[in-house]
Amino acid sequence: MARSIIIGAGMVGLATAWHLQEHGVSVTVVDRAGVAADASWGNAGWLAPGKTIPLADSSVWTYGPKALVDPNAALHIPLRMDPALWSFLARFAAHGTQRAWERAMAALAPINAIALECFDELRAGGVDAWTREGAFVIGFAAFRDARPFLREIEGVKRHGLPATLTRIERPADACPVLSDKVQLAYHLEGQRFIEPAAYLHALAESVVARGGVIRTDAEVTAVEGGQHPAALLADGSRLDADSVVVSTGAHLPRLTRRFGVRTRVQAGRGYSFTVATDEPVTRPLYLPKQRIACTPVQGRLRIAGTMEFRGADDPLQQRRIESIVNQARALLRGVDLDDRRDEWVGSRPVTPDGLPLVGATRAPGVYVGGGHGMWGIVLGPATGKLLARQIATGVVDPIIAPFDPLRG
Ligand SMILES: Cc1cc2nc3c(=O)[nH]c(=O)nc-3n(C[C@H](O)[C@H](O)[C@H](O)COP(=O)(O)OP(=O)(O)OC[C@H]3O[C@@H](n4cnc5c(N)ncnc54)[C@H](O)[C@@H]3O)c2cc1C
């Protein structure tokens, strides 16, 4: 029986492990910290093909300068000398054109189109966790604030994805936490959401129930390819297999650079916390101008936002949480923003061109899966499915061909 080591127990690593099992491969998943230990924990849990778009667009040219000086800006870049970060930012900004957006969107649309059915497949295969349907509520304090969002939705539809918007007559009635400062609101149909940590643990349990091993005490320091692929652990031990999959999220470049994966993956750190609400909230809410995403989690409301380009292992910056609170205060009611739980920071794995890295490296037997930026939860199961097929059969599905990790 073929054996595979998967490094990283986030959405991408676990989904890849699950699908390798479908091909009869024996899997060991290793993580340095736990199941859903990084970005796959406190995220917004949106399975929203209508919002799964490239991160860089022409607005980076206005957001960028603000990000350096305005502590409340949704995008934050610490002002310090970090040549690697500045080189990433230069490449990222170079993709902030309409042409680059259309190119990236064309590459993302096919995987987006199969994203939701891949969740159904996991469910049918025994993953005991729900995905919930229901229109998302989108709110704006002013009519002019809606323009960039409406342009994005037009772009998504142009690429054939479902994103039906319906105007809501009385915004405050659409969602119990929307304040009367919100003048304009829409329902966005055709999307779903999950509770990320619960979902990831159910996926991990399914991998184990099918004979897989998950080790959450194992930091991988190096990977070997060729005739004897292996993961080398910090404790000096070595795990041999027929293939190794590196799915370490924002830490992805470290283990794979020497195998020709040159694309830089930068941590785009996001923050979240949960609050109690006076009335139950049953569906996600998005405030696009403030870039704040709210999702019901365990009877509370998770409020998530900001994009901070900083080291993946840097400590949580309390100032970023306060910035979300400041932005949200005027637009939300019936929530106590000062009584927060589960304050969290996680690192979105961001690539300059907005496309993930999925496929074989130059070293035989070594593969990568990751770099999905803002959308690794919704795209994780589809990625895992197609990457597992490539590992088990050698067939590169055209859907993941544009995500070749050896690209320029
Ligand atoms: C605030 C916020 C909101 C978001 N909202 C959404 C959303 O609504 N929908 C969506 O689709 N996406 C969302 N995302 C993005 C999504 O969370 C990520 O794209 C996704 O979780 C990445 O999954 P991953 O498996 O690639 O990486 P991760 O989940 O980061 O997993 C990587 C794992 O690798 C492990 N690891 C790293 N290095 C090593 C090593 N050397 N040895 C062993 N283990 C290692 C880590 O411990 C970690 O568990 C959001 C992100 C943030 C921050």
pLDDT tens readout for residues 289-314: 999 999 999 999 999 999 999 999 99
pLDDT of residue 173: 84
Q: Which residue has the tokens 């004979």?
A: 211
Structure tokens at 324: 């979300």
How far does the centroid of ligand 1 lie from the alpha carbon of residue 348, in Å?
6
Q: What's the 86 CA to ligand 1 centre distance in angstroms? A: 23
Backbone dihedral angles phi then psi of residue 172, each to the nearest 5 degrees:
-65, -20
Ranges in the chain, pLDDT < 50: none
Residues contacting residue 348 through CB under 8 Å, at least 6 positions apart: 39, 250, 267, 268, 269, 270, 307, 373, 374, 376
Residue nearest to atom 14 of ligand 1 (CA): 374
CA–CA distance from 350 to each of 156, 256, 299, 304 (Å)? Answer: 20, 16, 31, 17
Per-residue CA distances from 356 to 30, 55, 86, 375 (Å): 21, 12, 20, 9
Ligand 1 atom 31 nearest Cα: 10
> Could you give the C-alpha distances from 157 to 53, 81, 163, in angstroms and in order?
11, 40, 6
Closest CA to 109 of 166, 157, 181, 43: 157
- Contact residues of ligand 1, CB 6 A cut-off: 7-13, 30-33, 37-40, 43-46, 219-220, 247-249, 251, 270, 272, 304, 346, 348-349, 370, 372, 374-378
For a ligand 1 pocket test, name from 14, 30, 32 the mutation site with the most ligand atoms within 8 angstroms of its C-beta.
Answer: 32
pLDDT at 327: 93
The domain ranges of the chain are 3-403
Check if the beta carbon of residue 269 is closer than 8 Å to that of residue 345: yes
Distance of CA 197 to the CA centre of its chain: 13
State how far the alpha carbon of 225 is from the alpha carbons of 2, 4, 231, 241, in Å.
Answer: 15, 12, 9, 10
CA dist list (Å): 25 to 33, 43, 322, 369, 405 = 24, 30, 46, 17, 23
What is the distance of C-alpha 308 from the center of its chain? 14
Q: Which fold has domain 3-403?
A: FAD/NAD(P)-binding domain (3.50.50)
**Residue 58: what pLDDT?**
65
Return left, alpha or beta for 85; rule: phi > 0 is left, psi -120 to 50 is alpha, else beta. alpha
- Ligand 1: nearest atom to the Cα of 272: 1
Report strand pairing: 213-215 vs 26-30: parallel
Neighbour tally for 3: CB within 10 Å: 16
What pLDDT, on the 0 to 100 scale, is given for residue 174?
84
pTM of the model: 0.97
pLDDT digits (tens, 9 = 90+) for 325-346: 999 999 999 999 999 999 999 9
User: Cβ contacts of residue 190 below 8 Å, gap of 6+?
Assistant: 49, 50, 162, 163, 164
